[in-house]
Amino acid sequence: MLVFASSDKGGTGRSVTSCNIAFHLAQRDDVAYLDFDFGSPTAGAIFDIPRAERGIERDGLHTYFTDGITDPRHLDVWHATDRADLRGANVRAGRLSFYPGEMGGAEFAISDTATTRCAELLTRLDQEYSVCVVDLSAGRSTALEMVLAATAQPMMRAITTRWLVFHRWTRQHIVAAHGLVYGERGIVEIGASAGHDPEALRDAIRFVRIAVPNLKEHNPGQTAAQATWLFTYDEELRKLAVDKRLGKSRVLGMTPVEPVLQYREQLISDSDVSTKIANHATVEAFRELAARLSDDAVWEGM
């Protein structure tokens, strides 16, 4: 299964959330994480791999697409990470392989060669890993266009492909996420012109709401007026989401606001929860996202 992580805006939580999803999937399956955010590869920092913090120096994914190398480098996260609590946390975990981008990499011009190479790489890795998570950059990027073209090729038709669109729980983010999927030069439109069946493509897209405040939580510092406003406005956002076709049936899940992630981009492990540093609800949200991602029932046609 291939999972493409996209978002209209930068800073939505796409990378952090998809890294955490990959981490949970890898507890029982072999998982690859590919950093296609060529302009700002950050996944190395999220996995706590110092030597790939802002991408690696050579032979990464960028060079694979631009320079014709056949084997982009990859790192075994369990071995390469600095976090001892991830290493050996689960003796039966699957592999978690990280394919980093490159320092000083940038977006490159999309070409037939790059698209073919993309299809070849994704097909090859899909044969090897149960799940490949691909972090695309924000907006209508080269990476997005390239994978839409690649996945439309006959060679890739048989591969299960799922799309995630990450957005924050605000008015602008909802409108922007709508635009990225349904709008002009959006995923569905670009996909259709690349040869995808637009309906099937739409059915393979789910939204993920990031850092959604929990209004039910008791908050002693809050005035009655504030609480009422928040409830009313939250309800309005819900309506807007339904109008914009980001409603419940198209949502894979949500993540709560996590203080740790407000300070540091990282994986949230069970030990972060048991030391009471991170919230239990956050790990549960990531776990649920991972479970629903691989649950076929969730992805049946609308």
Ligand X SMILES: Nc1ncnc2c1ncn2[C@@H]1O[C@H](COP(=O)(O)OP(=O)(O)O)[C@@H](O)[C@H]1O
Question: Which part of the chain contacts another protein (CB under 8 A), choosing from 152-160, 231-239, 274-282, 292-300?
Answer: 152-160
Among 136, 156, 261, 267, the residue binding another protein under the rule CB under 8 A is 156
Q: What is the largest CA-CA distance in the chain?
A: 62
7 near Mg ion, judged by CB under 5 A: no
17 alpha carbon, distance to own chain's centre: 6
Within 8 A by CB and 6+ apart from 211, the residues are 13, 168, 169, 255, 256, 257, 258, 261
Which of another protein, Mg ion, ligand X, none does residue 102 bind (CB under 5 to 8 Å by kind)? none
The single-letter code of the amino acid at 180 is: L
Distance CA 228, CA 103 (A): 47
CB 298 within 8 A of CB 29: no
Distance CA 98, CA 41 (A): 12
Among 189, 203, 265, 288, the residue binding ligand X under the rule CB under 6 A is 265
CB of 58 vs another protein, minimal distance in Å: 8
Mask 162-201, x = binds another protein (CB under 8 A)? Answer: ----------------------------------------
Among 3, 4, 6, 15, the residue binding ligand X under the rule CB under 6 A is 15
Closest CB to another protein among residues 155, 200: 155
30 near another protein, judged by CB under 8 A: yes
CB of 36 vs ligand X, minimal distance in Å: 12
User: Angle at the Cα of 130 (from 252 to 290), degrees rounded to 5?
Assistant: 25
CB of 259 vs ligand X, minimal distance in Å: 7
Mask 205-224, x = binds ligand X (CB under 6 A)? Answer: -----xx-------------
Closest CB to ligand X among residues 30, 265: 265
CB 167 within 8 A of CB 8: yes
- Give the torsion through C-alpha atoms of 142, 162, 132, 122, to 10 deg: -50
Distance CA 92, CA 56 (A): 29
CB of 167 vs Mg ion, minimal distance in Å: 14
- Crossing angle of helices 280-293 and 14-25, in 10° steps, is 70
CB 129 within 8 A of CB 97: yes
Among 35, 126, 145, 258, the residue binding another protein under the rule CB under 8 A is 126
Question: Which part of the chain contacts another protein (CB under 8 A), choosing from 8-16, 67-75, 168-176, 247-255?
Answer: 67-75
Tokens of 14: 């796409």
The residues of the shown chain that bind ligand X, judged by CB under 6 A, are 7, 10-17, 42, 210-211, 255, 257-258, 261-262, 265
